[in-house]
Structure 1
Amino acid sequence: MNRKRVLTVVFLAFCTFVSGQENSWSLTKCFETALQNNIEIKIRQLEIKRTQKSQNSVLNRMLPTVSLYGEQRYSFGSTIDPSTNGRVSSNIQNDNFYINTRTNLIDFSAFVNAKKDKISIEIAKAEKEVIENEYKLQLLDSYYQTLYTQELIKIQKEQLKQASFNLDRISKEVAIGRKPQSDLYDMQLSFSEEENSYLETQQLYGIQKMQLFQLINVSNVATDAVTLEIYFDENTADTIKKTNSNPKIKLAEFQYQNSLKSIHLERANNLPVLSAYYGYSTFYYKNIKEGSDFSDSFSTQLSDNKNQEVGMQLMIPIFNGFRNNKKIIASKIESEKVKLVIDQEKQELDKQVALEEQNKKNCLQLQHKLMEKQKYAKASLATMQAKFISGKVEAILYSSVKNQSLSADYEVLKNSLQLQYVDLRINLLKNDNF
C-alpha cells in the first residue's frame, strides 16, 4: 500500500512535469493573447476608427455645400400668376426648381474644429491605452499569484515524497519490531496533514489558473495541463524610465488641450464670417382650365424663367446678449477643472509608485535575510543527512529538517519573484510597458 503511494506521487510529479513542458505559458504570451481577445479593447479600437472617419480637415470644412430643391404646388381660388405677379382668380399649377451652393471663405471656427478633431483622435487612443494598462495590471497580479502557488506545489510535492518515504520506512521498522506502533500513528498523521495541504494547494492552483485564463478570455485550453514560465530579467529594474508616460496622465493632458480648443472655438463665434454663394432657379406654371390654357411648354418655360444669382456675404457679430462671453467664461472654468485632473492623476501615480518602491525596498532587505536562512538550512540539512545515514536521528526529525530546507528555497524564490513583480508593476504604472 505504501509503495503504491510512493509510485502515485512520483507518477503525478512526472505527469505534471511533462504536461508543463508541452503547454507552458509565459507572461508575454498571456499579455499578447489577452490583448487580442479582450472585447473592451476591440470596442475602443473601433471607437478610434470611428473618430478618425469623423475627422474633417480645414479644406474639407471649406468645401462648398450644394443643394438641389424641387417643388410642385397647386393653388386654388385667388392666387398669384407667376407670369404677371398679379392676383387672379384661377387655379394654378406651379413647379419650382432651385440649385444653391455656399462656401465660407473665412471662418475661424473651421480651423479650431479641425484641430479639435485631431485631438479627439488622440483622446480615443489614450482611452484605449488606459483600458489596456488597467487590464495589464490586473493580468500581472493574477499571473504572479498563480505562479506563487505553482512554485509552492513543487515544494509541497517534495515534502510529500519525503513524508511518503518516511511513512514507508517507519511501517517496515514497526513490522519488524524496531519501532513502537505509536511512531507509526505519528507518521501517518504527519503524512495525512501533508496530503491535505498538498490537495488544498492543488485546488487553489486549479482555481487560480482558471481565473487567469478566464481573464485572458481563452476557453479552449486545458488549464490542468498548463504551467506558467518563470522569467527572470536581471535588467528589469534598470529599464525603468525616469519620465512618466502613464496613459491616464496622457488622457488628462489631451483632454486639457481639447478644453483649450473649446475656448478658442467660443471666441471664434465672435469673429466675422465671409461667405460666397451661388443660386440657380427656374419654374414652370400652368393655369388649370378647361381647354383655355395658352401657357408655353414645360421646356420652354424652364428656359425662359431661369434666374441666377451670385454674391458674397459678410457676417459680423455685434451683440448677442453676452451669451458668447458667458460661454467663453464657462469654457475657461471647465479648462481649469481639466487641468486639475492632470495634477490629480500625477498625484495618484506618485502615491502608487511610492508604495511599490517601498515594497521593493522591503523585498531587497528581506532577500538578504532569506538567503542567509537558506544557507543555514542547507548546512543543517547536510549535517542531519549524515546523522540520518548513520542512524543517529529519527526519520521524522530528518524529514522536518529537509522540509525546512525546501521551505527556505521556496521563500528565496518567492521573494525573487516578488521583486520581479514589483519592477514590472512599476514599469506598467510609469511607462505602460514591461
Structure 2
Amino acid sequence: MNKNSIFTLVFFLIFTLVSAQGNSWTLTKCMEIALQNNIEIKIRQLEIKKTEKSQNSVLNRMLPSINLYGEQGYNFGSTIDPSTNGRVSSNIQNNNFYLNARTNLIDFSAFANAQKDKINIALAKADVEVIENEYKLQILESFYQVLYIQELLKIQKEQLKQAYFNLDRITKEVAIGSKPQSDLYDMQLSFSTEEIRNQETEQLYAIKKTELFQLMNAIDVKTDEVVLEPYLKEVTKDFDTELFNPKIKLAELNYQNSLKSIRLEKASNYPVLSAYYGYSTFYYKNIKQANANTDSFFNQLEDNKSQQVGMQLSVPVFNGFRNNKKISASKIAGDKAKLTIEKEKQQLDKQVVLEEQNKRNYLQLQNKLVEKEKYAKASLATTQAKFISGKVEAIVYSSVKNQSLSADFELLKNSLQLQYIDLKINLLTRNQL
C-alpha cells in the first residue's frame, strides 16, 4: 500500500467517524467565519474605502477652483470716494463683489499625486491581505492543535475502555480465587492512570477548542458540541512559479510608492502654467448725503464691473536647495524600500526551507510508522489469542492493546502533520490552501 493510499484511508476513516457526530467544523468554514468576524480586518477594509474616496484623478486635480467673495464695509472720516477716486471728508458705504477662477494647465505635481493616490489604494488592499494571511496562519495552527488532541482523545477513550474491561475481568477472577490480589492492584493502578490521562486530555481539548473559537471571535458557538473535520480536499501542489506572498507584495508597493515620491519632489522644480479669470464690481453710497444723486444698486454694479483674463507661468529659480534635500531623502527612502523587498523574500525563503525540511522528516518517519503499526497489529493479534487461552496476563494484553492504539495515533498524527505543513507552505507562498 503506497503512501497516498494510506493517507486517503486514514482520512476517510476519520471523516466517517466525524460525520456520525453532531456539529462538525471544517478548516475552510473556520477560516471563513474568522475572516468575517475579525475586527481589525473590518477596520482596514474601511481604510480602503476611505483611501478610495480620497483619490483625486488628474482631471479632477486640473479642474478650476472658483471662488465668489462679497464684502460690505463702512469708511468714516477722511476716505476715498470710489466714484472720483479722490479723498473726501465723508462717510462711505462700500459693497464689493469678486468672482475668481484659476486652473493649472500644466502641473507635473498633479500627475505625480494622482499616481500616488492609486498606489495608496493598492497599499491599503495589500495591508489587508497581509493581516488576513497572518490571521489564516494562526487559525490553521490552532485548528490542527485541536485536531491532534481530538484524535488523541479518541485513542485514549479506547484505551480506557480496554482498561475497564480488564479491570472488570480481573476483579471477577480474583473474587473466585483464580487470580492473586496483586493482579487486581496492578489493574486498578493501570485503570486509574488511564482515567487521569483521559481526563487531562479532555480538559486540554476543551481549552484548545475554546481558544480556537475565541481566535475566530465566534463566541456564541457551543464548543463542547463541536467536532473538527480533517481537511479532506487534495492539497494543491501544481502552482505557477510566481510567488504571491502578501508581505512581499506590500514591500513591492511601498517601493513603487517611494519612486512616486521622488517624482513628486522633482515636480516642485518644474514650471507650472496656469490660467485665471476674474470678475469684480462694487456699489458705494455716501451715508451723510442721503439725498445725494447716487445711482441705484444694480446700476452701479453694472457700471462698475471689470473683468480680467490671463495666464501665468511660474518657474522655480531658487528655493534654498530645500527641494534637492527632499529629493535626496526620497531616494534614500526608495533604497530602503527596495532592501525591504529582499528582506521579506529572504525571510520567506528561510521559512519555506525549514518547512520543506520538516516535511521530508515526516515523510521519512511515515514509512517507519507504517511498519510499526503493522507490527503492533500483528503483536496484538497473537497476544489476544494468548490472552483468550489464558497464556498471558491481562496486564500484558492491556499493554499490547495500548501499544497498538498508540501506533495508530502516531501514524494519524504524522499524516496530519504532513497535511498541516503542505497547507502552511501554500498559505506562505500562495496565500491560499
Query: TM-score, normalized by length of structure 1?
Result: 0.94
- What is the alpha-carbon distance in structure 2 between the residues aligned to residue 240 and residue 388 of structure 1? 54
Tell me the residue number matched to 1:186: 186
- What is the alpha-carbon distance in structure 1 between the residues aligned to residue 314 and residue 29 of structure 2? 61
Tell me the residue number matched to 1:317: 316
| Superposed counterparts of 1:302-341, under 5 Å | 302-341=301-340
Tell me the residue number matched to 1:247: 246
State the SS of the aligned residue for 1:335. helix
Tell me the residue number matched to 2:360: 361
Tell me the residue number matched to 2:259: 260
- What is the alpha-carbon distance in structure 1 between the residues aligned to residue 122 and residue 43 of structure 2? 16
| Contact 1:19-1:226 within 8 A present in 2 as well | no
Structure 1 runs not aligned, ≥5 long: 1-16
The residue type equivalent to 2:186 in the other structure is D
Tell me the residue number matched to 1:29: 29
| Contact 1:349-1:429 within 8 A present in 2 as well | yes
CA shift at 1:235, angstroms? Answer: 4.2
Q: Deviations over 1:220-240 (max 9, x none)?
A: 11000000001244544x245
Tell me the residue number matched to 2:216: 216
CA shift at 1:242, angstroms? Answer: 3.2
Tell me the residue number matched to 1:151: 151
Q: Deviations over 1:257-309 (max 9, x none)?
A: 01001111111111111111111111111111153443222111111111111
Q: Mean Cα displacement is larger for which, 199-208 or 238-247? A: 238-247
- What is the alpha-carbon distance in structure 2 between the residues aligned to residue 257 and residue 267 of structure 1? 16
CA shift at 1:19, angstroms? Answer: 9.5
Q: Mean Cα displacement is larger for which, 38-47 or 294-303? A: 294-303
- What is the alpha-carbon distance in structure 2 between the residues aligned to residue 241 and residue 198 of structure 1? 46
| Superposed counterparts of 1:365-384, under 5 Å | 365-384=364-383
Structure 1 residues 420 and 29, CA gap change in structure 2 (3 angstroms): same
- What is the alpha-carbon distance in structure 1 between the residues aligned to residue 427 and residue 79 of structure 2? 78
| Contact 1:232-1:420 within 8 A present in 2 as well | no
- What is the alpha-carbon distance in structure 1 between the residues aligned to residue 336 and residue 318 of structure 2? 29
The residue type equivalent to 1:197 in the other structure is R
Tell me the residue number matched to 2:402: 403
Q: Mean Cα displacement is larger for which, 73-82 or 378-387? A: 73-82
State the SS of the aligned residue for 1:278. strand
- What is the alpha-carbon distance in structure 1 between the residues aligned to residue 234 and residue 67 of structure 2? 68
Structure 2 runs not aligned, ≥5 long: 1-16
Q: Mean Cα displacement is larger for which, 134-143 or 77-86? A: 77-86
CA shift at 1:129, angstroms? Answer: 0.3
State the SS of the aligned residue for 2:384. helix
| Superposed counterparts of 1:31-430, under 5 Å | 31-236=31-236, 238-239=237-238, 241-289=240-288, 291-430=290-429
| Superposed counterparts of 1:11-22, under 5 Å | 21-22=21-22
- What is the alpha-carbon distance in structure 2 between the residues aligned to residue 169 and residue 326 of structure 1? 90
Tell me the residue number matched to 1:12: none
State the SS of the aligned residue for 2:368. helix
- What is the alpha-carbon distance in structure 1 between the residues aligned to residue 241 and residue 398 of structure 2? 49
CA shift at 1:374, angstroms? Answer: 0.8
State the SS of the aligned residue for 1:294. coil
Tell me the residue number matched to 1:431: 430
The residue type equivalent to 2:108 in the other structure is F
Tell me the residue number matched to 1:6: none
Structure 1 residues 312 and 62, CA gap change in structure 2 (3 angstroms): same
- What is the alpha-carbon distance in structure 1 between the residues aligned to residue 414 and residue 293 of structure 2? 104
Tell me the residue number matched to 2:8: none
Q: Mean Cα displacement is larger for which, 147-156 or 181-190? A: 181-190
- What is the alpha-carbon distance in structure 2 between the residues aligned to residue 124 and residue 167 of structure 1? 64
CA shift at 1:400, angstroms? Answer: 0.6
| Contact 1:38-1:216 within 8 A present in 2 as well | yes
| Contact 2:235-2:422 within 8 A present in 1 as well | no
CA shift at 1:177, angstroms? Answer: 1.0
State the SS of the aligned residue for 2:21. helix
CA shift at 1:410, angstroms? Answer: 0.2
- What is the alpha-carbon distance in structure 2 between the residues aligned to residue 103 and residue 235 of structure 1? 58
The residue type equivalent to 1:244 in the other structure is L
| Contact 1:137-1:428 within 8 A present in 2 as well | yes
The residue type equivalent to 1:135 in the other structure is Y
Q: Mean Cα displacement is larger for which, 148-157 or 315-324? A: 315-324
- What is the alpha-carbon distance in structure 1 between the residues aligned to residue 360 and residue 99 of structure 2? 76
| Contact 2:186-2:395 within 8 A present in 1 as well | no
The residue type equivalent to 1:312 in the other structure is M
The number of residues matched between the two structures is 417
State the SS of the aligned residue for 2:218. coil
- What is the alpha-carbon distance in structure 1 between the residues aligned to residue 174 and residue 180 of structure 2? 6
State the SS of the aligned residue for 1:21. coil
| Contact 2:18-2:229 within 8 A present in 1 as well | no
Tell me the residue number matched to 2:7: none
Runs of 4+ in structure 1 off by over 6 angstroms are: 17-20
- What is the alpha-carbon distance in structure 2 between the residues aligned to residue 234 and residue 288 of structure 1? 92
Structure 1 residues 88 and 294, CA gap change in structure 2 (3 angstroms): same
Structure 1 residues 123 and 18, CA gap change in structure 2 (3 angstroms): closer
CA shift at 1:320, angstroms? Answer: 1.3
- What is the alpha-carbon distance in structure 1 between the residues aligned to residue 260 and residue 376 of structure 2? 66
CA RMSD of aligned residues (A): 1.4
State the SS of the aligned residue for 1:230. coil
